[in-house]
Amino acid sequence: MKYDLRLIVVHLKQGEKQYFEQFYESTKTGVFFTILKIVKSRATAEDIMQDTYRAFLDSLDRIDADKNVYAYLLSIAKNRALNHILRNPTTVDIDNAQLSTSDTIDLDAPLIQRCRAMLSEEEWVILELCIIMGYTQLEVSRMLNKPASTINWQLRKTLIRVKQFYGEVYGEQN
C-alpha cells in the first residue's frame, strides 16, 4: 500500500506517532537493502535499521516535509552503515585479495559535484542508487514506490544530462 510520505511526516511532526507504522511499511525495504548492500550481514543490517529509524525520529523537528524525506532517510541509513564499517573493520587477506585501482569512485570528482548541483533531488537519488550504489532499476523502483518503467525513463533522461555535464566539465564534445 502506498502512502504519501510528506503527509505522514507532517503527522509525525505533530506528535501523531500512530503514523510511524505507515511510514515504516512504506520505507523499510529500501532502508534495509541500502544498509545490507554495505554491511553484507542481515543481522547487522537489522540493527542499523533500528538505529536509522531512531535517528530519523530524533531529527523530526529539523526535517522539512516538503523535501524528499525518503532520500533523507536513505542518507541516514547509508551513513549509519558506513559508520559501522569504519568502526568495525574486517580483516582481509591481502595476499589473496584482488585489488582494483580502476573501479574506485572519487565522490569529490568534478563530474559528481556537477551532477549534485545541477540535477533535481529525485534525479540525483535515482542516479546515486542505480549507478553509484549499483542497485538495479527494479530494486530502485521498489525502494521509491514507482513503476520500473518510470525509473528507467528518469534514469535514461538523467544519464543524457550527465553525458552533457561530462562534456562541460572535461571540455569534450559529445
Domains, the chain: 1-91 (1.10.1740.10), 103-174 (1.10.10.10)
- The model's pTM is 0.55
Q: pLDDT tens, 20-77? A: 999 999 889 889 988 988 888 899 999 999 999 999 999 998 888 888 888 889 989 9
DSSP string covering 82-134: HHHHHHSPPP--TTT----SSS---TTSHHHHHHHHHS-HHHHHHHIIIIIS-
